[in-house]
Amino acid sequence: MRICISRFLTLLLLLLLHCEDSDVRAQQRYWVFLTTKTVTTGYTPHGLGITDRALQRRAKSCSQDCLIDDFDYPVDEGAVVQIQSTGAQVRSRSRWLNAVSVLATKDQQSRILRFPFVHSLRTVSQSKRRPVDRVILKHSEYSASTTEDAVYGSSLRQVRSVNALPLHKAWVTGKNVLIGMLDDGFQNYRTHSAFRTTIVLGEYDFVQRDNNTSRSFGEYATQGNHGAQTLSVVGGYEQGKLVGVAYGASFYLAKTEIDSIEVAAEEDNFIEGLEWLERQGVDIVSASLGYDDFDPTGTYARGNGLYDPGDIVYSMKDGRTAPTTRAVQIAARKGVLVVVSAGNEGWAKRDTLVRRDSLGKVTTIVWGTKAGTGSITTPADADSILAVGALYSTGTLAYFSSTGPTADGRIKPDVVAQGSLITAVDPRGTNGYVSSASGTSFAAPLVAGAAALVLSAHPYATAMEIRSAILATAQQIHDTLASVVYPNNYYGYGRVDAFAAALSLGPVVSNTPSMTQTDSGYIVATIILAKTSLVEDSILFYYHFHADEPYSVAKFRRSVDSLFTCFVPTTLGTIAPRGYIYVKETTGKSIQRPIGEHLLPREYILFQNYPNPFNSTTTILFDIGQTSEVEVAIYNVLGKRIKTLASGWLERGRYAKQWNGLSDDGHYVTSGVYFCRLKARSYAVTRKILYLR
């Protein structure tokens, strides 16, 4: 019986492949771009599939009236029905591009173009193979020689390569950051020992259209291997074997690529998966995929060594043409930091060369090297993202790492990271590892993990602030390629330095401070790192034990080196305090680190200033429950405005302002009673302040 079933399945598979081959010869995949979109006022964010977390992330970058925009509304289903009436098969929809992907014959394509609501058509692209090195997977053998080795195993080198170790030592692990992964699936992520503590909040298979991103029945033996390895580089953890750069982060997984073959559906899946991840509320997307010209090789009409007008040639790598490029830029507009592989096309770009005579008629079409062009793939040509090149473990540029410029002359890649001799899981089993992974595919998740650490240290920072910090603090590499000119089209701005990027945004405080219970309360300990000196009498813990209670304040004292402690008295037994740690540098940069609280407040609150009374500087803490126009000001007893601390639109979040007794005209006020007033929409509250000179 087993033999009969096996033969039957084999025959059925051969038949399906024959039918698919016939269909592909007759039909082609196209993006059909529509002219307009029907916007209905009845839509709600939840009705559009947009989560609260997505709205919270958007609120950091967008004003309240732009949290939902035209990109969020579905394509016109009436137009879809008319397109289907031609006999074309609609494969996927993109809200962001206002387009549908169809499988259509030439005749159906012509009929679709005649519809008045159709703007244009473009051939769907295929994905480029990811790692340049097809190495044989072999188990990692590593002997620990130091304490750090004993924790990180052979992954210590790659964690150090992005300078993440100082942040790990400060208990910054990526907590409260949500990362979306786009790849070929995530084989054995539920059972491999490296993922036992990895938090996966959701997954979707855009290939098989189900909720299982592991290998499915009938798929290639390597399906999901690559994704499991990239996931482990970011979020895996097994002591002594592998530590992911952001092992404390949470994840959404999207399976978008069909392994071992190149099909046009993968571009559809990439865009659809990216839109889905954004709606789930991810902060960062890591994608080790790229789309490029397919003239040199292939089996079907496209990618067969012949010129095809739909191929992605160099002129299209301009940051605005390729659909995947447009999609990642929309994601960036909505506050997502997209990190993508630059590509494995090497330093010299080979491209389709179309030669024409003086009248513009094509004379020859050849495959050759085009001087001055970059080998970057799409969507790495996009602006406002991080395109990542690869380094050898020795720190020099890998020969396979794609280079810039883009077609419109911009420098690419943006940054570089280790992309050789990477330690990752061996997805063929449940407890093995490899130490030979190679390609820009593995440089990208290292950078995504580094960005997650920076965001974890500065939860109120926007995606563009994180990106700018990473670019500004990247370490320059000088060799015969780059000389002294930075940024350049080999290394971009340089090697990523997670620690320096985090410090550049202000003080760094542990994600989860330790709390030790005593008979009379809790000893709270946290590590605080800063680029400059701290204002040590302004390191405060605003805490309470229940959400409906007002905050009390405890002051941290330096214990040893960068370790600070404070004591919180309580008689409530096992209920631990929660709240916010406030830290300020002498430069004025400050941070509020939530402990057990919602990352973003849900209401407007003006807390009592601390210290009060004061004679030098006092801190005024307030919550903005919704992005809105806010005014925070100091008034005297006669109701006259003395000092404006904040005025204008503020995003949802927690804010701290200092007042040193100066009025708006730069003069010190006299000792006495003053009032701090917070006004926002229909909410207004006042707190009494006592100033003593």
Domain CATH for 521: 2.60.40
Could you tell me if residue 409 is left (phi over 0), alpha (psi between -120 and 50 degrees) or otherwise beta?
left
Residues 118 and 252 in one domain: no
Residue 403 in domain: yes
Six-digit token string for 357 = 């005579």
User: Does pLDDT of 304 surpass 50?
Assistant: no
Q: For 73-109, how does the pLDDT look when each residue is reduced to its tens digit (9 = 90+)? A: 999 999 999 999 999 999 899 999 999 999 999 899 9
Q: For 660-678, how does the pLDDT look when each residue is reduced to its tens digit (9 = 90+)? A: 999 999 999 999 999 999 9
Residues 88 and 153 in one domain: no
Q: Which of 48-62, 120-134, 349-363, 630-644 bottoms out in mean pLDDT, i.e. has the lowest? A: 120-134
Residue 365 in domain: no
Domain count, the chain: 4
Residues 301 and 439 in one domain: yes
The rounded Cα 7 to chain-centroid distance in angstroms is: 46
Residues 534 and 583 in one domain: yes
Tokens 């997209």 found at: 338
Between residues 320 and 649, which one has the greater pLDDT?
A: 320
Residues 37 and 115 in one domain: yes
Residue 127 is predicted with a pLDDT of 56
Residue 215 in domain: yes
Name the average pLDDT for the chain. Answer: 84
**Phi, psi angle pair for 571, to nearest 5°:** -120, 20
Which band of pLDDT confidence, cut at 50, 70 and 90, is reported for residue 375? confident
Tokens 């035209």 found at: 70
Q: What is the mean pLDDT of residues 422-436?
A: 93
Instruction: Tell me which residue of 65, 31, 58 sits closest to 629, measured CA to CA.
Output: 65
Residue 386 is predicted with a pLDDT of 98
Residue 361 in domain: no
Residue 11 in domain: no
**Phi, psi angle pair for 462, to nearest 5°:** -85, 165
User: Does pLDDT of 548 surpass 60?
Assistant: yes
Which band of pLDDT confidence, cut at 50, 70 and 90, is reported for residue 588? confident
- Cβ contacts of 660-667, under 8 Å, gap ≥ 24: 660/616, 660/617, 661/615, 661/616, 661/691, 661/693
Residue 467 is predicted with a pLDDT of 98
Residues 425 and 328 in one domain: yes
Among the candidates 447, 474, 504, a domain finishes at 504
Residues 543 and 416 in one domain: no
58 is in which domain, residue-wise? 25-123
Q: For 158-200, how does the pLDDT look when each residue is reduced to its tens digit (9 = 90+)? A: 999 999 999 999 999 999 999 999 999 999 999 999 999 999 9
Among the candidates 597, 621, 656, a domain finishes at 597
Residue 137 in domain: no
For residue 205, CA distances in Å to 192, 210, 587, 605 come to 19, 5, 48, 43
Domain CATH for 456: 3.40.50.200
Residues 45 and 79 in one domain: yes
Q: Which of 328-337, 339-348, 401-410, 614-623 bottoms out in mean pLDDT, i.e. has the lowest? A: 614-623
User: Does pLDDT of 310 surpass 60?
Assistant: no
Residues 510 and 524 in one domain: yes
DSSP string, 53-116: HHHHHHHTTS-GGGSS-GGGSPP-HHHHHHHHTTTPEEEEEETTTTEEEEEE-HHHHHHHHTST
Domain CATH for 639: 2.60.40.1930
Residue 630 in domain: yes
Residues 309 and 386 in one domain: yes
Cα separation, 614 vs 676, whole angstroms: 14
Find out whether 441 and 131 touch, Cβ atoms under 8 Å.
yes
Residues 631 and 643 in one domain: yes
Among the candidates 504, 534, 560, a domain finishes at 504
Instruction: Tell me which residue of 659, 105, 153, 50 sits closest to 424, measured CA to CA.
Output: 153
Residue 238 in domain: yes
Which band of pLDDT confidence, cut at 50, 70 and 90, is reported for residue 214? very high
Could you give the percent of the chain with pLDDT greater than 90? 54
Six-digit token string for 317 = 């790598």
Residues 152 and 226 in one domain: yes
